[in-house]
Structure 1
Amino acid sequence: METYRTHFVMWTVLGLAAVFISASALSGVKGIVTQKVLLHCPCVNRNVRKTIIWQLEEHTIVLRHDGSNNHTTIGTRYENRVSLFLNEEKDNCSLLLSGITVADHGTYKCSFTADAFVYEQVILHVAASYSVCMDLVSDQASVSSGGGEGSRVYQCKASGGYPEGQIHWELEGHPLVNPSRRDVTHLDNITGLYSLTSNLTIELSEGETLQCVVENTALASNLNSNSSCNQKHMPIEGSIHYKVQVAAVVAVSLIVIFIVGVLLVFLLTRCRRHERSTRDTERQERGVTQSFNVYEDDSA
């Protein structure tokens, strides 16, 4: 009964660990536009004579490697942008994707043949950081813009980002409530990137600080205007928060794996001790029985 209980606990722990690791894997990977990303696909014990296929969703072939003649065919959209690592490591079917675009967003499937047909899925979340700038565009607001005599019009621009973000206005670090503003959103049909423009009409007191903030949920960051639109400026990277999130997930995963390992070692050690104790008890009982039989024979 004790051995059964121990095995039940051990398999329960393994099941919970598997669920946790699977849930972590389903979160996918993040790729930044124009950069590179590695889509993992371990293919241990694969049949090297069979075909490896990478595809996006169910309709777009990214790459097809025929193991029988060592020939690789690459989809039209992915020419000069994808590569495998089979020459370095035959059990690694991971795909390196370069020059990421918005169109690369989606679920990728890596399929190969081992003892049976196997496939791995990787979700790629594409994001792009906005370039943000702000300028005073009018010293005197027009009557149609809703401004008073001392009102001015400020313009905030956020360009080249993905997914669609939101512009917020702040005065002295606090959000403006019901501001007089006019917003325009433009989607580039070629690149899939968004450009946002917000015109704010407001009357500022001397010394007050106004800034626009661009929210990009995919990068878990808010970008503040720190330059004039009339000056050259570099895009503000919003991937720092994402890196922190990834590090936290990895740390938690390692801790869980360590705890599971310790529990398994403990349970296995306990099982072995129980089995050894059972064998010793049986051995002692057999010895006593044999001694008793010898004694009866001598008495007879």
Structure 2
Amino acid sequence: MAPIGILFFIFTVICVGAKEVLFTVQCKTESVGQYGQQSLLECWVQAANGATDAGIRAISWTKEGLEGPLVFFNKGKMNKTPGYQLAEPPLNKKHTNVSLLIANTTMANAGAYKCMVITNSGDAVGDINLKVTAKYSKPTIRSDPKEITVKRDGVLTCESHGGYPKGEIRWIVEHDTEWTKGSKMEEKLDKRGLFHLSSKLPLLRGSIFSKYTCAVYSASGSREAEAIFVVEDIPSLGTQGREKEFDAASKIIAPVVVIGSLIVGLLVALLFLRRRRQSGHLRSDPGEEEGLDAIDNSFQM
């Protein structure tokens, strides 16, 4: 098997002697690949000037910054660099799909690519750019000291790794209030070319919340993952407030209910006795009348 460099030289010579171009190579302007997944660089041969048969003779895929072709197809024979292949190798003259498939995408695969095609009617070149992204891992939170209390200062550290491009860590406290301004984030590139994010949030005694959420956002602003840290010895402010309000209300309502019941009972008794006296069923009793008059006078005051 001849080296790919020699085959590429032959390919270039063929291009020089090719006929008038009746076909073009159309490619998407940009393709977005996910780190660790397959990536497809889509290109196809399109007829020009009424041509109906492409008759592909040779295909070459190259990447800017690398010598020689990544994939080279000529006269039915395929030469390729490990990890690269044609999505659909040409099997007949009507074949038009010349897309490139990358098996396991890494940051090194990002960049500009060219697809050169020779047909029975001429040659053409298409360009496409590959952009590689990577999702950040679920963040982890550690505290210093290990047990956070309201009586001493502390620090929360949130970390997430394996993402690209550079993202952001944000802090959210109770009632969905963002608390990021008080934090400090650092980012580093690892050997794979991916970002490691780390954010420190200082906690000051007397102003510590019961729950902290560390959220990781991508470069486009979408929320990818989060972690929650709970301070165990701080009761929920909402529950504590409701309990205090209930106790205060109970102390006020109980005596009011008792007094109100007594007043209602006395009013009912007074009304009943007056009706009996007015209807003539109650005999005149000076002592009883004096008692009714005293009760009546007390409510009229």
The TM tier, using the shorter chain, reads 0.5 to 0.7
Instruction: Say whether residues 1:64 and 2:66 are aligned partners.
Output: no
- Structure 2: distance between partners of 1:223 and 1:124: 22
Distance in 2 of aligned mates of 1:35 and 1:91: 25
Q: With the length of structure 1 as denominator, give the TM-score of the two structures.
A: 0.55
| Partners of 1:140 and 1:151 within 8 A in 2 | no
Q: 2:89 aligns with which of 86, 89, 92?
A: 86
Asked if 1 retains the 8 angstrom alpha-carbon contact of 2:59 and 2:116, the reply is: yes
CA, structure 1 residues 60+194, in 2 after alignment: closer, same or farther (shift >3 Å)? farther
Post-superposition shift, 1:205?
5.4
What is the rounded CA distance, in whole Å, between the counterparts of 1:60 and 1:123 in structure 2?
17
* CA distance 1:207–1:82, change in 2 (3 Å): same
CA distance in structure 1 between the partners assigned to 2:163 and 2:78 by the alignment:
34
1: distance between equivalents of 2:210 and 2:124?
62
Q: 1:92 to 1:186 in 2, by over 3 A?
A: same
Secondary structure of the structure 2 residue equivalent to 1:160: strand
Q: Which of structures 1 and 2 has the bigger CA Rg? A: 2
Q: What does residue range 8-157 of structure 1 map to in structure 2 within 5 Å?
A: 25-26=28-29, 28-44=30-46, 45-49=53-57, 51-57=58-64, 59-68=66-75, 70-75=76-81, 79-87=82-90, 90-114=95-119, 115-139=121-145, 150-157=152-159
Q: What's the CA shift string for 1:132-178, capped at 9, x where partnerless?
A: 3232421389xxxxxx9633211111111111222222223232253
Residues 93-130 of structure 1 show CA distances to partners (whole Å, capped at 9, x for unaligned) of 11111110011111221111233321122221100000
Q: Give the Cα separation in 1 of the matches to 2:211 and 2:153.
A: 15
Letter paired with 1:55:
T
Q: 1:55 to 1:136 in 2, by over 3 A?
A: same
Tell whether 2:181 aligns with 1:175.
no
The aligned residue for residue 253 of structure 1 is: none
The sequence identity of aligned pairs, in percent, is 24
Matches of 1:119 and 1:94, distance apart in 2: 13
TM superposition score normalised by structure 2: 0.55
Give the unaligned 5+ runs of structure 2: 1-25, 47-52, 230-301
Taking a change above 3 Å as real, the CA distance of residues 62 and 36 of structure 1, as seen in their structure-2 partners, is farther
Shift of 1:186: 2.1
User: 1:250: which partner in 2?
Assistant: none
In structure 1, how many angstroms separate the alpha carbons of the residues matched to 2:218 and 2:68? 30
Which of the two has greater helix per residue?
Answer: 1
| In structure 1, C-alpha distance between the alignment counterparts of 2:228 and 2:117, rounded to whole Å | 51
Do 2:139 and 2:215's aligned partners in 1 also have CA atoms closer than 8 Å?
no
- Distance (Å, rounded) in 1 between the aligned partners of 2:73 and 2:146: 68
Corresponding pairs, count:
192
2:168 to 161, 166, 171: 166
Q: Secondary structure at the match of 1:93?
A: coil
Q: Which residue does the alignment assign to 1:225?
A: 226
* C-alpha contact (below 8 Å) 2:212/2:228 kept by paired residues: no
Change (3 A) 1:96 1:88: farther
Aligned partners of 1:48 and 1:67 also within 8 Å: no
8 Å contact kept, 2:83–2:102: no
CA distance in 1, matches of 2:123, 2:140: 55
CA contact (8 A) 1:38 1:96 kept: yes
Query: Root-mean-square deviation (CA), in Å?
Result: 3.1
Indicate if the aligned counterparts of 1:54 and 1:108 stay in contact, CA closer than 8 A: yes
Which residue of structure 2 lines up, in the alignment, with residue 198 of structure 1?
199
> What CA distance in whole angstroms lies between the structure 1 residues aligned with 2:180 and 2:139?
21
Cα distance 1:188–1:136, how it changes in 2: closer, same or farther (>3 A)?
closer
Residues 62 and 160 of structure 1, relative CA distance in 2, 3 Å threshold: farther
CA–CA distance in structure 2, aligned partners of residues 122 and 160 of structure 1: 26
Comparing 111-120 with 55-64, which one deviates more in the overlay?
A: 55-64
Unaligned ranges ≥5, structure 1? 1-21, 142-147, 229-300
Given that 2:83 and 2:104 are in contact with CA atoms closer than 8 Å, whether structure 1 keeps it comes out as no
